Amino acid sequence: MPNIISQGRYLFKPEKDFLKYLKRIIGFSPRNCTLYQLACIHKSSSFVVFKDLKINNERLEFLGDAILDALVAKRLFLKFPEKDVGFLTQMRSKIVSRDNLNNIAVKLGISNMIITRVSSENHKSLYGDALEALIGALFLDKGFKKTEKIVLERIIYPFINLNTLQDTEVDFKSRIIEWGQKNRKEVSFACFEEVDSKKNTTYFVSHLVIADNLIGRGTGNSKKEAEQNAARQGLEKLNISSV
């Protein structure tokens, strides 16, 4: 990847709209847009540079996911010094949830920047994944300190109300596990990968099993998303409103 990035200023000539949306997100127009352009190429629109090397935003998404987790964890650690690890973990899950990141990405205009051959209806994490990829690109371009400043000032503070978020439930998996522990029920998740031959894409399917009974089934573009959806269905089926 470093060789590809250093080969030229752009992977392709950026349109004015791309630069406009990018500046709105990060606050400036970088001289080298290659990383940021790469962050907006969904795997469905991958292109081969040489041999079998495919170019898309998956690697940057992986990096951005880790960076975002670290930034959010640090922010929560400082914001809530009296809270325990369980609370901090749940709050982080709410902030970096697919639904939350997707909504933020749309508000930022990332939906207008993505190069893809699939729709967001079938790939619900499309926009949130691109947001994480942009954070990965920003980290490589500007380092951790500058990335932290931009993420907090332009993503966390404008779009996330920590006080309101405390009352919002998104970590369905943790809830069902806690319910199982409280009621002495064995809770497990079985997750496997499926292939959509028509769209030439892969997705994950998760089964929620409680006491040898299939209680919930969920799908998603990641194992984590599939498990959350299975847990949500299980909570609804068992009519569990609190644990």
Residue 130: its pLDDT value, please? 94
Tokens of 128: 């949130």
**CATH 3.30.160.20 residue spans of the chain:** 172-238
Could you say which of 61, 65, 129, 148 is catalytic?
65
Residue 16: its pLDDT value, please? 75
**pLDDT tens-digit series, residues 34-89:** 899 999 998 888 776 666 677 889 999 999 999 999 999 999 999 999 988 878 88
The beta-strand segments (E) located in 18-174 are 47-48, 54-55
**CATH 1.10.1520.10 residue spans of the chain:** 2-165
Residue 1: its pLDDT value, please? 41
Tokens of 47: 């292109």
The separation between the first and the last C-alpha atoms of the chain, rounded to the nearest angstrom, is 47
Could you say which of 61, 129, 132, 225 is catalytic?
132
**At residue 152, what is the residue type?**
L
Residue 139: its pLDDT value, please? 97
- Domain 172-238 belongs to what topology? Double Stranded RNA Binding Domain (3.30.160)
**At residue 68, what is the residue type?**
L
Domain 2-165: CATH superfamily is Ribonuclease III domain (1.10.1520.10)
Whether 65 is a known active-site residue: answer yes
Q: Which of 221, 225, 3 is nearest to 122 (CA)?
A: 221
**pLDDT tens-digit series, residues 182-191:** 889 999 999 9
Cβ 71 vs Cβ 55: under 8 Å: no
Distance from chain centroid for Cα 8: 29
Whole-model pTM over 0.85: no
183's CB contacts (< 8 A; 6+ apart) are: none
Residue 49: its pLDDT value, please? 61
pLDDT in tens, the chain (243 residues): 444 443 334 444 557 788 888 999 999 988 778 899 999 998 888 776 666 677 889 999 999 999 999 999 999 999 999 988 878 887 888 899 888 899 999 999 998 888 887 765 656 688 999 999 999 999 999 999 999 999 999 999 999 988 888 767 667 888 899 888 888 999 999 999 988 777 677 889 999 999 899 999 998 878 888 898 899 899 989 887 544
Q: Read off the DSSP letter of residue 234.
A: H
